[in-house]
Chain A
Amino acid sequence: MNVTLQVWRQKNATAKGQMVKYEVKNISPDTSFLEMLDIVNQELIARDEDPIAFDHDCREGICGMCSLMINGMAHGPEHATTTCQLHMRSFKDGDTIYVEPWRARSFPVLKDLIVDRGAFDRIIAAGGYISVSTGSAPEANVIPVPKENSDLAMDAAACIACGACVAACPNASAMLFTAAKVSHLALLPQGQPERHKRVIDMVRQMDDEGFGHCTNIGECSIACPKEISMDFISMLNRELIKATATNKE
């Protein structure tokens, strides 16, 4: 199949970028989207041009490195799919495909389609962890966890921190990400000691990073390759209200 690509090209973080058109010929529908970009890049390299820079790592939907706004949708048109799991069969012969980086003030473009998602790391560093004493591993099942909670915690923990929620949100809000990370630990016994401090610190960091706020529109949850529910945003709000009301500091 043949497609036309419109790709955001930007030399570096300070350069002005623009959309550049590429004609892609004779691609098998079973090529993955990133393989298609690899093929385009090989041709660019052969022509002595700068290849298109994009993020990727595992290419099996688990690491959260891949990104891309494809035809205006984070991770492309397929539901619950990362860009690396997307195939050319999701498009039609002759299609024009727009490929852009995540857009948010807090995710500055570094080059072409690569953005700096360090803001997410800083939100995690602000409290998205539990403190444990290292040493010999304790018996895994010694602390009982209600099945309902462990299921829900697993749903939240499915977040791979790819940033699609921010990219899809009309306000570039990081609420779904922060909600998933806060809820995941708030639901488990190991998360209890730091529960209140965690939510206060993580929300503060999220705000400081300059993300927008949540207007409950729900574009995040639809774009999320791991189908994180907006219920977790409600849970985050509840956690913050409770934590602030009982905060002793």
Chain B
Amino acid sequence: MAPALALYRSTIGKKVAMALTGLILVGFVVAHMLGNLKIFTGSQHLNEYGEFLRTVGEPLFPYSVLLWIARIVLLGSVVVHIVAATQLTMLDRASRPERYVFHKKQQATYASLTMRWGGLIILLFVIYHILHFTTGAAHGNFIEGDVYHNVVSGFQVWYVSVVYIAAMVALGFHLYHGVWSMFQTLGLNSSKWNGLLRGLSVLTALVVAGGNILIPVAVLAGFLS
């Protein structure tokens, strides 16, 4: 524990914390997207999958326990990710009190410059998403346990779909810079691997954002009903 705390005290250590929690969250969004695609195999499959997430591990783990453990790990990761990001952002804000009159960016990507705002958008989206599809509080027509119905009727409201699609675009940008950054921060990058890691982050961003966007698009197009 002591070395981890010593590391966290440095700016690099805070970034390592962001990279490790980022890794957990990337794993989650990939798995979540793959699970979502079950909707294309029909309502029964999707609902069974939703139930499976609650019964997995039984009888060793009682109903829903593994799901709750996963939720707690994810919540913890989100908290650490955001706390470290906030601490670092404050340092950065203080690091250049006087700005340039004229400043030209030479190669920074849009994704790399929008990690903070993008992250905030994703956070707001996650809160909405939980209220919408998990608790149903933000859903006009929610039926507990009928995942398929909730998703389809939710996305039939066009502006809800637009919010989801926009959020997935934001997530795509975040992943595009974040996945590569993760390796860079953990010290796993070098000229030998750079191309591959850049490719991996493009792939992750496209697959996660694209896979999820397919669903509201399919609902709006009347393909899922």
Interface residues in chain A, defined as those with a beta carbon under 8 Å from any beta carbon in chain B = 6, 8, 19, 69, 71-73, 98, 100, 103-106, 109, 168, 170-173, 203-204, 206-207, 210-219, 222-223, 229-231, 233-242, 244-245, 247
CA distance A63 to B15 in the complex (A): 32
CA distance A230 to B198 in the complex (A): 14
Contacting chain A: which of B60-68, B106-114, B125-133, B207-215? B106-114
Taking CB as reference atom, which chain B residue is nearest A174?
Answer: B95
**Inter-chain contacts of B104 with A (CB < 8 A):** 71-73
Q: Given A19-B101, A244-B13, does the pair A230, B95 have CB atoms closer than 8 Å?
A: no
Contact indicator A105/B92 (Cβ below 8 Å): no
Contact indicator B108/A69 (Cβ below 8 Å): no
Contact count band on B: 35 or more
Contact indicator A244/B6 (Cβ below 8 Å): yes
Contacting chain A: which of B148-156, B167-175, B183-191? B183-191
Contact indicator B108/A213 (Cβ below 8 Å): no
Contact indicator B107/A216 (Cβ below 8 Å): no
CA distance A170 to B104 in the complex (A): 10
CA distance A161 to B10 in the complex (A): 22
> Which of A100, A203, A237 is B186 in contact with, Cβ under 8 Å?
A237
**Inter-chain contacts of B88 with A (CB < 8 A):** 213
**Inter-chain contacts of B181 with A (CB < 8 A):** 215-216
Q: Does B102 sit at the interface, judged by CB under 8 A?
A: yes
**Inter-chain contacts of A215 with B (CB < 8 A):** 92, 112, 115, 181
**Inter-chain contacts of B109 with A (CB < 8 A):** 217
Contact indicator B184/A105 (Cβ below 8 Å): no
Contact indicator A73/B106 (Cβ below 8 Å): yes
Interface residues in chain B, defined as those with a beta carbon under 8 Å from any beta carbon in chain A = 3, 6-7, 10-16, 88, 91-92, 94-109, 112-113, 115, 177, 180-181, 183-191, 194
Quote the shortest CB–CB distance from A159 to chain B (angstroms).
17
**Inter-chain contacts of A241 with B (CB < 8 A):** 7, 12, 16, 186-187
CA distance A16 to B109 in the complex (A): 34
CA distance A63 to B108 in the complex (A): 28
Q: Given A103-B98, A207-B10, A240-B7, does the pair A212, B91 have CB atoms closer than 8 Å?
A: yes
Candidate in B14, B98, B102, B108 with the most chain A CB atoms within 10 angstroms: B102
Quote the shortest CB–CB distance from A176 to chain B (angstroms).
12
CA distance A230 to B191 in the complex (A): 9
> Which of A69, A105, A245, A247 is B97 in contact with, Cβ under 8 Å?
A105
Taking CB as reference atom, which chain B residue is nearest A99?
Answer: B102
Q: What are 30 A-to-B residue pairs whose CB atoms are below 8 Å?
A: A72-B103, A100-B101, A103-B96, A103-B100, A104-B96, A105-B97, A106-B95, A203-B11, A206-B11, A207-B11, A210-B91, A211-B95, A213-B15, A213-B88, A214-B15, A215-B115, A217-B112, A219-B106, A222-B106, A234-B184, A234-B189, A237-B184, A238-B187, A240-B10, A240-B12, A240-B187, A241-B7, A241-B12, A241-B186, A245-B7
CA distance A239 to B188 in the complex (A): 11
Contact indicator B101/A172 (Cβ below 8 Å): no
CA distance A172 to B100 in the complex (A): 12
Contact indicator A204/B97 (Cβ below 8 Å): no
Q: Given A73-B106, A218-B112, A240-B12, does the pair A213, B92 have CB atoms closer than 8 Å?
A: yes
Taking CB as reference atom, which chain B residue is nearest A79?
Answer: B106
**Inter-chain contacts of A171 with B (CB < 8 A):** 92, 95-96
Contact indicator B188/A238 (Cβ below 8 Å): yes
**Inter-chain contacts of A229 with B (CB < 8 A):** 191
Contact indicator B107/A235 (Cβ below 8 Å): no
Contact indicator A168/B97 (Cβ below 8 Å): no
**Inter-chain contacts of A234 with B (CB < 8 A):** 183-185, 187-190
